[in-house]
A = this chain, B = another copy of it.
Amino acid sequence: MPTPAPPLAVATAGLGDVLQLFRTEPTLTRADVMALTGLSRSTVNQRLDALLAAALVVPSGEGAPTGGRPASRFAFNSERGVLLVADIGATGMRTALCNLRGEVRQEHEQSLDVATGPDIVLSVVDEAFRALLAEAGRAAADVHGIGIDVPGPVDFDRGQVVSPPIMSGWDRYDIRAWFAGRYDCPVLVDKDVNAMAVGEHRSLYPEVRQLLMVKVGTGVGAGMIIDGEVFRGADGAAGDIGHIQLTVDDTDNEPVCRCGNTGCVEAYAGGWALVRDLNAAGRPVSTVQEALALIRTGDVTAVRLARRAGRILGHAIADAVSLLNPGVVVIGGQLAQIEEQLFAGIREMVYRRSLPLATRKLSIAATALGPRSGLVGMALLLADSIFAAHRVEGLIARRD
């Protein structure tokens, strides 16, 4: 039996609640479900019958011998269908076919310029989806959900990109509608940093209530988990840590940011700023990856710039920690690869500047999922959305 037994709330557990148990635990016996829900044996069987009939749950062998008749075990039917997920970045994308637990089964990576616009990009995404389906021997009808995350603000409820700074041609583009014509399933669209936050949260810190995920790539952005849920703000614009303003330069000539302002975090510590500064220092690099490679060689100027970026990020993260008081801060994005050079500065600034009360239990960690956090997170977000307790009844009804 998995956990002691926290009987559910006053209201009796419905089909959805029981399914949640199976999504949480690998396998359960009827007795487990009784203990976890507080429902009677008869009712548990009734629930199970419905879930089995809908193939949402399947038998999964027998339990360990206990001296008496062994209990039959059941498991969430993660192979009942598949999920398709695409993590679209500025210059590349990852696509994956996942099972219904949101676990990645097949994954594909390719370069792709998001600025070629939604028509081309989504066609490429769909090609990748079709290839993944073919490879897995699945039909489009097996697709239970599609999740797309993009490097820009999203109106989550509508599934549209809104006012993106770098995705030219995507403003108000209705991604959901595009897929709705091709697949008959829910389509979720979210900002990449939100998906990344979910990925790290669910995979490594499920018990943490507040998590801040900072992505330091070409630009700088953040996704937030608040009370265990993605926090998007009033317009889906929350987490814009990259354009917090700092003026910690010794001189007064603040760097100009891509956003038009000056002195933004991103204009000091974003990948593009690093490339700019390395070039200015006579180190010809043209991409963020080249800049990172140079830093790894130990080039003094490059390392100095990386450390400065760490301190700048630390300032911004300290501000965010002061405001949000999260339990964990996770750093991801390309620059998280130079952890050693970056983290000292980040930790230094956060612990120096934020209230001791807020930093006492705070942990600051590098991404554990690396470049896959967005993909993994989007899949989990999608699975959660599809099998949300209040939707389960509908799922079953639809099958009939």
Query: Is A59 part of the binding interface, using a Cβ–Cβ cutoff of 8 Å?
Result: no
Query: Is A248 part of the binding interface, using a Cβ–Cβ cutoff of 8 Å?
Result: yes
Decide: B323 and A323 in contact? CB cutoff 8 A: yes
Query: Is A400 part of the binding interface, using a Cβ–Cβ cutoff of 8 Å?
Result: no
Cross-chain contact of A235 among B235, B319, B325 (Cβ < 8 A): B325
Closest residue of chain B to A212 (Cβ to Cβ) is B323
User: Dominant SS at the A interface?
Assistant: loop
Closest residue of chain B to A320 (Cβ to Cβ) is B323
Bound-complex Cα distance A78 to B6 (A): 36
Count, chain A residues at interface, CB 8 A: 55
Flag the segment in A29-37, A64-72, A295-303, A356-364 that touches B.
A356-364
Which A residues form the contact surface with B (CB < 8 A)? Answer: 10-11, 14, 153, 162-163, 208-210, 222, 224, 226-227, 231-241, 243-248, 250, 252, 259, 261, 315, 318-320, 322-327, 352-358, 360-362, 390
Bound-complex Cα distance A81 to B13 (A): 36
Decide: B226 and A357 in contact? CB cutoff 8 A: no
Decide: B248 and A355 in contact? CB cutoff 8 A: no
Closest residue of chain B to A360 (Cβ to Cβ) is B235
User: Which one of A208, A233, A320 has the highest number of Cβ atoms from chain B below 10 Å of its Cβ?
Assistant: A233
Given contacts A245-B318, A248-B247, contact A233 B11 (CB under 8 A): no
Given contacts A241-B323, A245-B319, A247-B248, contact A226 B231 (CB under 8 A): yes
Bound-complex Cα distance A26 to B231 (A): 34
Decide: B244 and A319 in contact? CB cutoff 8 A: yes
Bound-complex Cα distance A261 to B354 (A): 10
Closest residue of chain B to A319 (Cβ to Cβ) is B244
What are some 9 contacts across the A-B interface (CB < 8 A)?
A: A162-B357, A235-B357, A237-B322, A240-B325, A243-B354, A243-B355, A244-B318, A244-B323, A319-B323
Decide: A315 and B358 in contact? CB cutoff 8 A: no
Interface contacts beyond A163-B357, A247-B247: sample of 17 additional A-B pairs, CB < 8 Å, sorted by A: A153-B357, A226-B231, A227-B227, A234-B325, A234-B326, A234-B327, A235-B325, A236-B357, A237-B325, A238-B324, A239-B325, A240-B323, A241-B322, A243-B354, A245-B315, A246-B247, A261-B353
Decide: A243 and B322 in contact? CB cutoff 8 A: yes
Given contacts A320-B323, A323-B238, contact A355 B10 (CB under 8 A): no
Closest residue of chain B to A356 (Cβ to Cβ) is B163
Instruction: Give chain B residues whose Cβ lies under 8 Å from the Cβ of A324.
Output: 233, 238, 323
Instruction: Give chain B residues whose Cβ lies under 8 Å from the Cβ of A353.
Output: 243, 245, 261
Given contacts A353-B245, A355-B243, A390-B10, contact A325 B226 (CB under 8 A): no
Decide: A355 and B222 in contact? CB cutoff 8 A: no
Decide: A237 and B355 in contact? CB cutoff 8 A: yes
Cross-chain contact of A358 among B237, B261, B322 (Cβ < 8 A): B237
Instruction: Give chain B residues whose Cβ lies under 8 Å from the Cβ of A245.
Output: 246, 315, 318-319, 353
User: Which one of A222, A234, A247 has the highest number of Cβ atoms from chain B below 10 Å of its Cβ?
Assistant: A234
Instruction: Give chain B residues whose Cβ lies under 8 Å from the Cβ of A241.
Output: 322-323
Instruction: Give chain B residues whose Cβ lies under 8 Å from the Cβ of A153.
Output: 355, 357
Instruction: Give chain B residues whose Cβ lies under 8 Å from the Cβ of A325.
Output: 232-240
